[in-house]
A = this chain, B = another copy of it.
Amino acid sequence: MATLEDLGVSAFINIVGAFIFLLLFAVLRIQPINDRVYFPKLYIAKKRTHDHRGARRAINLNLCTYFKFLSWVPGALRMNQTELIHHAGLDSVVYLRIYTLGLKIFLPIMVVALLVLIPVNVSGGTLLNLKKDVVFSDIDKLSISNVSPGSNRFFIHLLMAYLFTFWTCFMLYKEYSNVAFMRLHFLASQKRCADQFTVIVRNIPRVSSHTTSETVEEFFRRNHPDHFLGQQAVYNANRYAKLVKRKERLQNWLDYYQLKFERHPDKRPTGRTGCFGFCGGEVDQIDYYRARISELDKRMASERQKVLNDPKAIMPVSFVTFDSRWGAAVCAQTQQSKNPTQWLTDWAPEPRDVYWENLAIPFFSLSIRRFLISIAVFALVFFYMIPIAFVQSLANLEGIEKVAPFVRPIIEVKVVKSFLQGFLPGLALKLFLYILPSVLMIMSKVEGYVSLSSLERRTASKYYYFMLVNVFLGSIIAGTAFEQLYSFFHDPPSQIPRTIGVAVPMKATFFMTYIMVDGWAGIANEILRVKPLVIYHLKNMFIVKTERDRERAMDPRNIQLGENLPSLQLYFLLGLVYAVVTPILLPFIIVFYAFAFLVYRHQIINVYNQEYESAAAFWPQVHSRIIASLLISHVTLFGLLSTMKAAYSTPLLIFLPLLTIWFHKYCKSRFEPAFRKYPLEEAMEKDRMEHASEPSLNLKTYLANAYLHPIFHMFEQEEQKEETTLEVRIDKSQQQQQQHHARSSDTQYEERNTETHYYHEERSSSQYQYQYQHEETHMRSEQSPPHFVYHHEIQP
């Protein structure tokens, strides 16, 4: 157990670290050159344009701005909740409420715990004999471990456990009720959305002699005669989407070489084609990439024709639209067919929220996938050390020397060698932890969920299990998760809470340090945005030519619920477990919540751009996890007290988890339907209001373009290509060409050869760019490759 002094040193280091990050942030954010890194959301929301603060001056020279390094804080607090919902959506606002919930739960708990439990613990028991001259040198003195075994003072801890649990449940109930209300209000006050009228239908059976569209049409016309409006078939454009991605990559290289050539017009960039540029014949890079893009264009055109004309490209999935919210609500909530594996209906996610790749997975396959992934997650959580240890055993110095003998001279230098020997084993683990969220996301995708929001929620829940086992339990019971699993099977169940309970107070210092490193410094790092900053400037240097390119180079990112929810939930767990045991940990958590709240509020206002809106669909998960934390805290306290010979007080604890479970069940049935279903009352009310205010509304026209995939717009554009007006950029590139003509006469012949080609390319690339921009507002293309195309079939 560390002394307060050790902890002070650690706190000092971390506070200094966080301070440096904040200072750096204060300096960097006021540089106009970084404006797009630190305020991308304002650009996207059109609250800031490219000439803001004078883009010509790259560096801020106003010295007094440097001194106000916390000047972002008032800015982070400026919007009220309604404005913030309007600015960033309900998801972001409710996400921020998790932090305020943390504050609301833990501030009163901290006050009570510090006032009551610390004196009880320090005095080793009776409040009356409290010595004034006690030295607060040891964390242990402040924790429950200081109370002598068998003491009656454990009744005070027991009372506190009840008090804290009731308080937490009370706040949870209030918050759930608030969030549910906000969600319903948000949905009710939302302007007309296509997803309110649309139901996604999966596993449409194949009927011979009928096309899928005909089958759907017939089925819904028969079973929902009064409300069925139309349907939009989904085309399988997987291959086409791949080609688009490839073209984008080639286009980036072409841009890079063109810019290089523009800057050094005396030398045309050349390179080798094969083997990462090491072998193959030397070619002119600009010509080479142009040729490859043009070839790709041809393939894309033929693929496009194939998608549009081949009846086999239609997937057994459809977006069915209804003439009222009531009709859609009814269809989404009822079973359609006798065979419950066919005609599965569900709410259509928002158009930007659809994960197209998973739309066509059949029911049987889904059931296998989910099962296999749950086994895989279990294996990942408990056995992830095995492959890492394997990689570590391979990636030692001898191994590297064997594979690549030429690096031996460098490795054999003593300084390098010792550095590598210390660094390599950790590298595999670091790398693993870095890519873990992506791996979990891929797993969730394999599970077959059809919306990005649900994918993110699934990822969050997988990540939570990982953190719970490997961070929380892993730190408390020293040893790998695999060893824990072994002991879970081989120790009596009554022993496990004891093992954990005894270890919990001893690990308090570790978790305080963890909170400071991961919480305080980590959050300060979040606001600094090192990675997007570097990438933005790299892109700016090598690819960006126009203002539009610059906009594309911005990477606002989003809240990253998949990673952030689990760590937040971990803090709740730590706070609840330690509230009774070592209450001195609570201030650290409070500081984290307050600081993180400010930072994330700032980021949500200025940086993040949510891709979709799920209307706080993640809240039930947050609620359940906090309840789970409560239960874990009860079990640990039970284990701890049972080793403390507190025979009278311990059995009284048994009611606490029971009451908590009941509370959870009640909340679940009371509030969860608001997140899963859409009440008919609500739907009917909105239908009526709309009908009263816009009696002549033509829903068919409104819904016609709703679920059209961006790629389909691309198709249309391809066909209208002749009429597209060329953009500024093309003028610029023409200028460029003229410069090129004037300055390099030796490559003139080649140039003329590719002239027509080049124009064509430019045109299509500008068109592509237009498309991309369109896509940007709809959905981030990196995360959700557009794989299916809508063929719109609203019926007359």
Residues of A within 8 A of B (CB): 184, 219, 222-224, 226, 326, 329-330, 333-338, 340-341, 343, 363-364, 367-368, 370-371, 375, 488-494, 658, 661-662, 665-666, 669-674, 677-682, 684
Contact = CB atoms under 8 A, between A and B. Distances in A.
27 contacts: A222-B681, A223-B684, A224-B680, A330-B330, A330-B334, A333-B333, A333-B334, A333-B335, A334-B334, A334-B677, A335-B677, A335-B678, A335-B679, A337-B681, A338-B681, A340-B673, A340-B677, A343-B681, A363-B669, A368-B662, A370-B665, A371-B661, A371-B665, A488-B493, A489-B492, A492-B492, A493-B493
Contacts of A330: 330, 334
A330 to B, nearest CB: 5
Nearest to A222: B684
Contacts of A334: 329-330, 333-334, 677, 679-680
Contacts of A219: 681
A344 B671 CA distance: 14
A31 to B, nearest CB: 49
A407 to B, nearest CB: 42
A742 B371 CA distance: 86
B680 A223 contact: yes
Contacts of A671: 340
Given A363-B669, A367-B665, 9 more contacts: A223-B681, A226-B226, A333-B334, A335-B673, A338-B681, A340-B673, A343-B681, A370-B665, A371-B665
A336 to B, nearest CB: 5
Contacts of A364: 666
A627 to B, nearest CB: 14
Given A492-B490, A492-B491, A658-B375, A679 B367 contact: no
Contact of A338 (B184, B375, B492, B658): B184
Of A219, A334, A371, A492, the most chain B CB neighbours within 10 A belong to A334
A488 B335 CA distance: 42
Nearest to A492: B490
B681 A336 contact: yes
A338 B489 contact: no
A296 B684 CA distance: 51
Contact of A494 (B184, B490, B681): B490
A662 B337 CA distance: 23
Contacts of A490: 492-494
Contacts of A222: 681, 684
A211 B490 CA distance: 63
Nearest to A371: B662
Contact of A674 (B223, B338, B491): B338
Given A330-B330, A492-B491, A493-B489, A336 B680 contact: yes
A652 B677 CA distance: 43
Of A340, A491, A661, A666, the most chain B CB neighbours within 10 A belong to A340
A286 B224 CA distance: 66
B679 A337 contact: yes
A371 to B, nearest CB: 4
Contacts of A666: 364, 367
A341 B670 contact: yes
Contact of A367 (B669, B672, B674): B669
A493 B326 CA distance: 52
A341 B669 contact: yes
Contacts of A677: 334-335, 340
Nearest to A666: B367
Nearest to A335: B677
B335 A367 contact: no
The 9 closest A-B pairs by CB, nearest first: A340-B673, A335-B677, A371-B662, A489-B494, A333-B334, A490-B492, A367-B666, A335-B679, A223-B684
Nearest to A655: B375
A15 to B, nearest CB: 45
A422 to B, nearest CB: 38
Contacts of A673: 335, 340
A552 B677 CA distance: 49
A662 to B, nearest CB: 4
B338 A682 contact: yes
A341 B665 CA distance: 13
Contacts of A678: 335
A419 B81 CA distance: 81
A340 B338 CA distance: 27
Nearest to A330: B330
Contacts of A363: 669-670
Contacts of A494: 489-490
Contacts of A333: 333-335
Given A226-B226, A335-B677, A680-B334, A670 B340 contact: yes
A343 to B, nearest CB: 8
Nearest to A227: B226
A347 to B, nearest CB: 13
A687 B370 CA distance: 38
Nearest to A678: B335
Nearest to A184: B338
A371 B326 CA distance: 35
Contacts of A338: 184, 674, 679, 681-682
Nearest to A332: B334
Contacts of A665: 367, 370-371
A677 B329 CA distance: 16
Nearest to A670: B341
A363 B669 CA distance: 9
A658 B79 CA distance: 52
B492 A335 contact: no
A370 B223 CA distance: 37
Nearest to A181: B338
Contact of A340 (B329, B492, B674, B680): B674
Contacts of A658: 371, 375
Nearest to A493: B489
A336 B679 contact: yes
Given A493-B488, A494-B489, A674-B338, A367 B662 contact: yes
A682 B367 CA distance: 25
Nearest to A340: B673
Nearest to A367: B666
Nearest to A341: B670
A330 B681 CA distance: 13
Nearest to A333: B334
A529 to B, nearest CB: 40
Contacts of A335: 333, 673, 677-680
A497 to B, nearest CB: 10
A330 B494 CA distance: 49
A655 to B, nearest CB: 10
A642 to B, nearest CB: 11
